[in-house]
Amino acid sequence: MPQVGDKVQVITKKSTEEGILMPSSNENVTIIKLDTGYNVGFKKEDIKEVKLIKEKTKEQSKPKKEIPKKENLKTISILHCGGTIASKVDYETGAVKAKFSPEELLEMFPELGNLVNLRSKLVANMLSENMRFVHYNIIAKEIEKEIKAGSEGIIITHGTDMLHYTSAALAFVLENLNIPVLLVGAQRSSDRGSSDAFLNLKCAANFIANTDFAEVALCMHNSANDDVCSIIPGVKARKMHSSRRDAFKSINAEPFALIDNDGKIDWLRNDYVKRDGSKKLTLKLFKENLKIGIIKAHPQMFAEEIKAYEKFDGLILEGTGLGHFPVEKYDDHTKENELIFKEIETLAKKIPVVMTTQTIFGGINMNVYSPGRKLQEAGVLGNLLDMTAETALIKLAWLLSNYPKEKIKKLFSQNFRGEISSQRNYQEEFC
């Protein structure tokens, strides 16, 4: 009788498939992992026969070998925060098994040993959507420890869904950063032939090893091809697809550079922060109990939606177009809009309320149309800025954590980490 982990052939009424037998939570379904890395399930009633092809190979524990440090290579630290990038399938359980030690990483990705000296540490093995402000502080403190221990660059492995929030958070927290901090994720698990894990990790290591770059950025696939990665500013990144390998794009700014599988670097910008040994890293951490909300403008809004944030510390409005919300009455059917405006006006007197746009590209210009001017008069911030809603949320939280509330209005329009591409007056486009 085949066991989990064995290679089997499943013969059904319609087809024959080969793969690794996986655990199944449904006793009426047999699951195998194909050579492509995908799982496929078969109803037992449709199966004619399951043939054993090869029994699973039992893994033997290997003694850890001490990795000699190569004097001509930079030392980098890989801090693991979750995701699939440094993982392999454990066929005993069917789960993804994380590999965190330098020895395990070099066993998976031996080419890294020719690029850098590796240090490696598990920080938080979790799905990224579960992260809170406290986790940004934890990661920042670990980065500080690694720098003090002599690390010349940091790679953070991380789940992709909230990767751009974490990159923005670290960009703001790590003040006077003097080494590169690159966040790396994987859209496809490492057991799949189409995995992007290795190229992303290899390109990140190569970029750190061969540049004077000293900022927070993402290193992810530049296209669906498995050949080039983009170095995307940490405060300008956004996940644009749920599963493509090139899911991450730089918004309202070019990537810093492209780097290919051979380590060739094509610089697209020269305005990046360079290494400077005179700098001393300072951590400006988040207040971990802050409440920052985000609400998207949509049809059929009600004032209660805004009022729900009255006990929060700040609110991001994801408005339409140039920065609008349904705040004007046009007929008897739009009376609710007047109530929405009053709630925004009341809220803006208590907490910072910031306008962003639902459009992916472009910026806010609340000077052009009457709803925008009306919202500005009510105290809504964000005019003439081009931050993503995600970066705006993180920046507002960071400002409230480190500066007096009365200074937030002025500081929010200040460019701290390249989060504002330009503050051009969009009014000119309508003249």
| pLDDT in the model for residue 98 | 55
Q: Say which residue the tokens 């006006």 belong to.
A: 345
CB atoms within 10 A of CB 141: 14
Phi then psi for residue 52, to 5 deg, are: -80, 125
Closest-CA residue to 204 (of 222, 223, 219, 189): 219
| pLDDT in the model for residue 418 | 97
| pLDDT in the model for residue 215 | 98
| pLDDT in the model for residue 192 | 55
Q: For 192-303, list the strands marked E by DSSP.
A: 216-221, 228-233, 237-239, 248-250, 257-260, 265-267, 282-283, 292-296
pLDDT band at 431 (very low <50, low <70, confident <90, very high): very low
* Active-site residue list: 84, 160-161, 239
Half-sphere exposure of 305 (CA within 13 A, CB side): 17
| pLDDT in the model for residue 430 | 42
pLDDT band at 246 (very low <50, low <70, confident <90, very high): very high
What totals of helices (H) and strands (E) does the chain contain, helices first?
9, 22
* Average pLDDT of the segment spanning 107-120: 82
Q: Pick the range with the lowest mean pLDDT from 148-157, 196-205, 208-217, 398-407.
A: 196-205
Please report the DSSP string for 140-186 in residue order: HHHHHHHHHTT-S-EEEE--STTHHHHHHHHHHHEET--S-EEEE--
Q: Identical fold at 7-54 and 75-283?
A: no
What kind of fold does domain 292-430 have according to CATH?
Answer: Rossmann fold (3.40.50)
| pLDDT in the model for residue 195 | 73
On whether the CB atoms of residues 52 and 2 are closer than 8 A, the answer is yes
CATH class of the 75-283 domain in this structure: alpha beta
Q: Where are the domains of the chain?
A: 7-54, 75-283, 292-430
Which one is predicted more confidently, 41 or 419? Answer: 419
- Phi-psi category of 109—alpha, beta or left, where left has phi over 0 and alpha has psi -120 to 50? beta
Q: How far apart are CA 32 and CA 349, in angstroms?
A: 59
> For the domain 7-54, what is the CATH code?
2.30.30.520
Q: How far apart are CA 53 and CA 395, in angstroms?
A: 56
**What value does the mean pLDDT of the chain take?**
89
Q: At what angle do helices 163-173 and 133-148 cross, to 10 degrees?
A: 60
* Average pLDDT of the segment spanning 400-427: 86
User: Hey, what are 122's tokens?
Assistant: 């598990």
Termini Cα distance of the chain: 77
On whether the CB atoms of residues 168 and 316 are closer than 8 A, the answer is no
Is the sign of the CA dihedral 199, 204, 209, 213 positive or negative? positive
- Helix then strand then coil, in percent of the chain rounded to 5, is 25, 25, 50
pLDDT band at 87 (very low <50, low <70, confident <90, very high): low
Q: How far apart are CA 246 and CA 263, in angstroms?
A: 18
Does 162 have pLDDT greater than 70? yes
CA geometry: angle 55, 39, 219, nearest 5 deg: 110
282-283 vs 174-175, strand pairing mode: antiparallel
Does 428 have pLDDT greater than 50? no
Q: How far apart are CA 363 and CA 69, in angstroms?
A: 48
pLDDT band at 97 (very low <50, low <70, confident <90, very high): low
For the chain, percent of residues with pLDDT exceeding 70: 88
* Residues 172-186: tens digit of each pLDDT: 999 999 999 999 988
